[in-house]
Chain A
Amino acid sequence: MKLHEYQAKQVFADAGIPTPAAELAESVDEVLAVAEEVGYPVAVKAQVQVGGRGKAGGIKLAEGEDEAREAAEDILGMDLKGFHVDRVLVEEAVDFTNELYVGVTMDRGEGKPVTMVSTRGGVNIEEVADEDPDAIVREHVDPAFGMHPYQARKAVYEAGVDRAIANGVASVLQTLYTLWDERDGSDAEINPLMVTADDEVIAADAVMNIDEDALFRRPELAEMEDESASGDELERKADEYGFDYVRLDGDVGIIGNGAGLVMTTLDLVDHYGGSPANFLDVGGGAKADRTANALDMVFSDDNVDSVVFNIFGGITRGDEVANGINQALEQFDEIPKPVVVRLAGTNWEEGLEILNEDLVTVEETLEDAVQRAVEYAEVEA
């Protein structure tokens, strides 16, 4: 789960990391009022959860009232990479001499946390990592001990951070690690960490992503979750139903059980010349109502021309899935899109007997089912 910039900055500021004076605004008048309060020049920043906001026109600098009004009018209400902007952060523009990067994440290869420092802040850090990996200093942390203060200093010195600000940066890194650790962060990042002419450091941006699996023990962060943060209506609906769902731009709707098998079904649709419309994992032990909800999800995607429903039962039972498919389809006078079903594994024979073949096409193998769905999509399109 991602925090918005303004939320992450609040969390960072509460922990003692310096952040610019700023306030949230939802209208042009509010923008002007906040700008007056924090003092020009200000930065007007769209609060949506996408990378590259600046390049996409979601961040603008304003020297005075006219520019602030123009920025507010441009950004509020704009569509930023599919996200509607209804809030901006109005922030004092920091006069900086240098931009750094500090971050904390989980190194999955090593299976332990890693902290990072670079003097190449202010740019896309993933590009820096690709082009010049040595420009980012990495210091792994033993999760049983936490980050020792010397480790923060070591990372900062190795990165070549100027001595005058080294202690300040080390202190920010240490605090960032503690926050990441105590709040079950998946990623915590400050890019850029700005350095001012009088050698102060200040977090000009803030990223804080929380491990979804740990939200149960972080209620104060769970309540910050922005339900509208997912730009896609169907992805929000999938959250309500409790499905793992990703919308894609093809026309073959895909429902299956188990992440690996659903991914494989997507790949096969592509392999046989079709184009997948979505990833939808109904999960293990899917009962009739979940099956019906899954079909409802895929039918409500206008791009979908046909559906392939692929279940390999382990704990999921073929007869229950078949009942769910029948129930979901019997309520239609006309089936909205052709559905191809393939059942295998636990109780697949019972499932096939139950399935109403007036409503669905049944195929015995995964390959045949996918090819049939691809053919249907071509006819419908």
Chain B
Amino acid sequence: MSVLVDDDTRVIVQGITGGEGNFHAEQMIEYGTDVVAGAVPGKGGQEVHGVPVYDTVEQAAREEDADASVVFVPPAFAGDAVFEALDAPIDLAVAITEGIPTQDMATVNKRLGEVDTRLIGPNCPGIITPGEAKLGILPGNIFSAGSVGLVSRSGTLTYQVVDTLNDRGMGQTTAIGIGGDPIIGTDFVDALELFEADEDTEAVVMCGEIGGEDEEEAAKYIGEHMDTPVAGFIAGRTAPPGKRMGHAGAIVSGSGTGTAESKIDALNDAGVPVGDTPGEVADHIEDLL
């Protein structure tokens, strides 16, 4: 078993005729993902990597019986593209695009509350169930199948942690990159709920970073509702207040909210061990399994 995606997931790629969409559609297909359609306004009737392209997501979903869509649309149009996926409707939308205006995401967020679609991202590497399917830009070859669930706000940090886990022979059920933006569709609590419900996930790694209070909320959820053990990592311990560390959401505010310390304390209070290094996170997972 796995979380959200597997080899039965039928995937649309929005923006499949663009540079990024084209490249990563091919990578996804090579990995074994069942990419069934592309959706690009005005490009209906074309074929990319043997996949039919439709003008709208609704049409693509209906004709190809798709259940998920990955958005590789430039930031100025990505908010609209995500809306289109939500309204198609589709079960799962994954928005890779970085740099979507925050107010566009606030409107998307409002709509999310009214539909059944789950959104992952934006500004995320996507989601992968090793050996079955990947939706996004994660490099498939570094993941291996196993029993550890992984949820992270950052792409390359995910790869680093996965690499460390693999070295110790610990594969992954599913890895979810939830994204580094201030407003995201799936947060830590949502992802942890999914892993808690998954029988094959025996432990979860949660990689957080400075900014916001999502990790604190997650700590509370773990303490109150989770039986599956969790180990944590928090990036940005040395980040100065008021400076945005790359991700739009990774900033410690002047009043001191969003600090690594507050997140680590909250996790420790919930019984979650937090590693100082990726190696220590793997140590904790070894102990927990």
Contact = CB atoms under 8 A, between A and B. Distances in A.
Interface residues of B, number: 64
Interface in A260-284: 260-264, 266-271, 276, 279, 281, 284
Interface string B128-146: 0000000001110110000
A51 to B, nearest CB: 7
A109 B186 CA distance: 12
A259 B193 CA distance: 26
B212 A109 contact: yes
Q: Which of A267, A269, A345, A366 has the most CB of B within 10 A?
A: A267
A220 interface: no
Contact of B156 (A112, A184, A261): A261
Contacts of A353: none
Contacts of A306: none
A258 B153 CA distance: 11
B235 interface: yes
B125 A314 contact: yes
B183 A111 contact: yes
A263 B156 contact: no
A345 to B, nearest CB: 6
B191 to A, nearest CB: 16
Nearest to B167: A365
Nearest to A315: B137
Contact of B277 (A130, A217, A344, A367): A367
Nearest to A143: B106
B209 A260 contact: yes
A115 B156 CA distance: 36
Nearest to B163: A344
B156 A314 contact: yes
Interface in A131-156: 142-144
A314 B124 CA distance: 13
Question: Interface size for chain A: under 10, 10 to 19, 20 to 34, or 35 or more residues?
Answer: 35 or more
Contacts of A130: 255-256
A259 B159 contact: no
A216 interface: yes
A271 B234 CA distance: 13
B255 A260 contact: no
A266 B250 CA distance: 14
Contact of A112 (B110, B237, B260): B110
Nearest to B159: A312
Contact of B102 (A186, A217, A366): A186
Contacts of A267: 235-238, 260, 276
A108 B236 contact: no
List 8 A-B pairs, minimum CB-CB distance, nearest first: A260-B154, A259-B246, A258-B156, A260-B157, A126-B255, A214-B101, A261-B156, A111-B109
29 contacts: A106-B102, A109-B212, A109-B213, A109-B217, A113-B103, A126-B255, A143-B103, A184-B101, A184-B102, A213-B99, A214-B103, A214-B104, A246-B239, A246-B244, A258-B154, A258-B157, A260-B156, A260-B180, A263-B238, A264-B278, A266-B238, A267-B260, A314-B138, A315-B139, A344-B160, A344-B163, A345-B159, A366-B160, A367-B278
